[in-house]
Amino acid sequence: MVDMQVAAASSGSSDEFARWIVVLAAALRAAGIPVGIGQTISCREALRALGTDRQSRYWAARLTMIHDPADIGLFNRVFAEVAPATDIADEPWSTTVDAASDRTNGMGTDGSDHVAAGGRASARERLKHRKFSETTESEREQLSRLIDQLAVSLPMRRSRRRRAGPSGQIDVPRTLDHAIRTDGEIVTWRWKQRRSAPRKIVVVLDVSGSMAAYARVLLRLALAMRRVADRDVTRRVEVFAFGTRLTRLSDELTHRDPDAAIDAAAARVVDWHGGTRIGDSLDALVRTWGRRGLLRSAVVVICSDGLERGDPHRLEQAMLRIKRQAYHIVWINPLAGNTAFQPVQRGMATALPLVDTFLPSHDFASLETLVDTLAAIG
Amino acid sequence: MTKIDDVLAGLADQRYLADRGIASAVQLAIELPRPLLLEGDAGVGKTELAKAIAAMRGARPIRLQCHDGIDRSEALYAWDYPRQLLHLRAGEISGQASGTTALYSDQFLLARPLLEAVRQGSKAVLLIDEIDRADDEFEAFLLEILSDFQVTIPELGTITADAPPVVILTSNRTRELSDALRRRCLYHWIGHPDHQREVAIICLRAPDVPAVVAEHVASLIRNLRELDLYKPPGVAESIDWARVLTARNGDPQLWTPADLIETLGVVIKDHDDQMAAAARLAQLIEDAG
């Protein structure tokens, strides 16, 4: 209602187009595209500038209300519903739009409860070296809390920006600026030094069947990293999950309540406990996100057991691409916690030579090692 | 003749063939006026569009190329300290004391693109290129400038634009822009042109290319874009390829597979993509022959 009043007010009188805009905006919001009042007003202005035939209405609405190419396919559908007619050409590039996923909640394989190991050590010490695959439900609960409390610190890189500092390069403008105030005499030199900026972190989680015992714990770890980014906008942490297809989870993992965030992320993934196509999934990551530069000079953390069902050549190609763009690749593998572990799995053997740091991830202690390793990457 | 047709014709005069979506975006950017954010694959003509708009309005585009670490002194203004110092020294020698007010005058002000655009106001076309390369802080600063087109220089005072200039921002999506910036802007995604328009663009941009070559190149390029390449070729590549192939032979009927494969480097600039593209071209040649 507010929108209608505002849109109507901006046009000087209530008119049918303002009403049409309000209906369209409401339909877009219902479809999940956020449209603000400011945008509805802009749309009314745009209509006045462009005209009110169908094509003009289409472009006026699209140009003012849509700000993400991923939304355009959805916009076209909503527009067609709100303004039924056929004279608008379909945009050919709607292929770039991510296919809407059917959200199915495939969680809940907490079937077999092992007997809790006795022992008098504190929960933390007891759980520290307990394999994730052998934990009971209540232990997993405690583990989640422990992971939530992990002090994740993200690696930094040297930024191109400089700021005033006690040493470094001579800051010519500031030195001269001060010299002018002292009649052109340089009394003190001013210096500038490089700042450091956080590196981007890209976490890629394998949630296929063979990782079932670890996926939820690792998702919790990803959440702990995401929360660092939530507290500080200059930090960037992106989280993806894959089994047979790649799903971006960064937005789901922003919920304040950790359990709710994990549930939201779990609901987003459609291929829990399915097959593993690491190569295809990493390839999808490179193509959609790498092309846009997400991986450039980032630290990429891949969590997988390397049991590849797809083509190992494809995995190698994708890893090579990631290696060329990323600053550092960390591969964590829960199987590596086993002392008899040999990286002979098809995927792991292919990927290992291209990995900078290879770590186990079978217990809480190994996650602590990972966190320390990340912080130490320069 | 509607206004849209005027815009289409105006851009065509500047050798830019727009479609209805682009023309609508340009018209709104000028009339509302609101900054226009353009996104799209590399080589679809985002920067060219800004230049064409400027030429259409009889202005020189004021271009701000963003990069990692760009800051106010590169984007807005800076003082010409060496000249100020020389001026001070010259004053000492000639015995005329010059106060600091004279040192902080227009004479010593280096206007960078944003200040230049504010000064020129409605006459200016400001191109903020590859905004995604700048960082969040700079984006926030830019947002401030774009909302009131007003610059305050402590030593000189406040300069306000008579009317907002036409502002075009381009982004290659290497970083997600903030919602605040997106909402302030009109948004247009420039896709690859359809076959007909691509042929027309090639003919317009490379007048020495025969129409039959343009036609041929456009359909080959469309085939290559259907492959899932890391870097699909843009219009700029089509134009280059048409030129290179024309230089080899002006009659597509006489092209040998070698003509296409050997010149592929003009179009595809990635090794893996080249392998995929060469295979596709070989297949196309086989199908045709």
Instruction: Check residues B101 and A153 and name the one with the higher pLDDT.
Output: A153
Query: What pLDDT shows up at residue A205?
Result: 92
Contact assignment for B186 to A63 by CB distance below 8 Å:
yes
**Whether residue A83 has pLDDT greater than 80:** no
pLDDT in tens, B63-93: 999 988 888 889 999 988 888 888 888 887 8
**Whether residue A5 has pLDDT greater than 50:** no
Helix A37-50 / helix A54-65 crossing angle, nearest 10 deg: 150
Instruction: Give the closest-approach CA distance of A294 to chain B in angstroms.
Output: 6
Average pLDDT rounded to a whole number, residues A309-325: 89
Show the tokens assigned to B227.
Answer: 């492959």
Contact assignment for A50 to B73 by CB distance below 8 Å:
no
Q: What is the dihedral of CA A175, A180, A183, A184, to 10 degrees?
A: 50
pLDDT in tens, B109-149: 999 999 999 999 888 999 999 998 888 889 989 998 998 89
Contact assignment for A91 to B73 by CB distance below 8 Å:
no
| Nearest CB to A176 within list B71, B81, B272 | B81
Per-residue b/e over A347-358, b at no fewer than 16 CB within 10 Å? bbebbeeebebe
Query: What pLDDT shows up at residue A95?
Result: 32
| Nearest CB to A180 within list B73, B85, B173 | B85
Show the tokens assigned to A160.
Answer: 């191109």
Q: What is the dihedral of CA A232, A234, A237, A238, to 10 degrees?
A: 120
Q: What ipTM was reported for this prediction?
A: 0.74
Contacting residues for A90 by C-beta, under 8 A, at least 6 apart: A76
Query: What pLDDT shows up at residue A230?
Result: 76
B3: nearest CA partner in chain A: A50
> CA A340 to CA B58: how far, in whole Å?
74
**Whether residue B186 has pLDDT greater than 90:** yes
**Whether residue A8 has pLDDT greater than 80:** no
Instruction: Give the closest-approach CA distance of B91 to chain A in angstroms.
Output: 10
> CA A173 to CA B184: how far, in whole Å?
34
Q: Which chain B residues touch A60 with a CB distance below 8 Å?
A: 24, 28
Instruction: Give the closest-approach CA distance of A285 to chain B in angstroms.
Output: 11
Decide: helix, strand or coil at residue A271: coil
A345 burial type by CB count under 10 A (0-12 exposed, 13-18 middle, 19+ buried): buried
| Nearest CB to B69 within list A45, A160, A234 | A160
A164 burial type by CB count under 10 A (0-12 exposed, 13-18 middle, 19+ buried): exposed
> CA B9 to CA B26: how far, in whole Å?
12
CA distances to A290, A341, B124, B130 from A160, rounded to whole Å, are 22, 42, 30, 17
Query: What pLDDT shows up at residue B194?
Result: 92
Kindly write down the DSSP assignment for every residue of A298-362, as one continuous string. -EEEEE------S-HHHHHHHHHHHHHH-SEEEEEEGGGGSTT----SHHHHHHGGG-SEEEE-S
| Nearest CB to A46 within list B28, B67, B88 | B28
Q: What is the DSSP letter of A297?
A: T
Contacting residues for A201 by C-beta, under 8 A, at least 6 apart: A154, A155, A225, A229, A236, A237, A238, A298, A299, A301, A374
- Looking at every residue in chain A, the average pLDDT score rounds to 79
Residue type, A333: N
Q: Which of A93-107, A125-139, A239-253, B141-155 has the lowest mean pLDDT?
A: A93-107
> CA A249 to CA A241: how far, in whole Å?
7
Query: What pLDDT shows up at residue A103?
Result: 31
CA distances to A75, A114, B8 from B30, rounded to whole Å, are 24, 69, 14
Helix B20-31 / helix A54-65 crossing angle, nearest 10 deg: 60
List of long-range contacts for B205-208, beta carbons under 8 Å, 24+ apart: B205/B15, B205/B239, B206/B239, B206/B242, B206/B243, B206/B246, B208/B243, B208/B246
Q: Which chain B residues touch A157 with a CB distance below 8 Å?
A: none
Query: What pLDDT shows up at residue A335?
Result: 87
> CA A195 to CA B5: how far, in whole Å?
50
Please tell me the pTM assigned to this model: 0.70
> CA A335 to CA A361: how far, in whole Å?
8
Furthest C-alpha separation in chain B: 87
**Whether residue B197 has pLDDT greater than 90:** yes
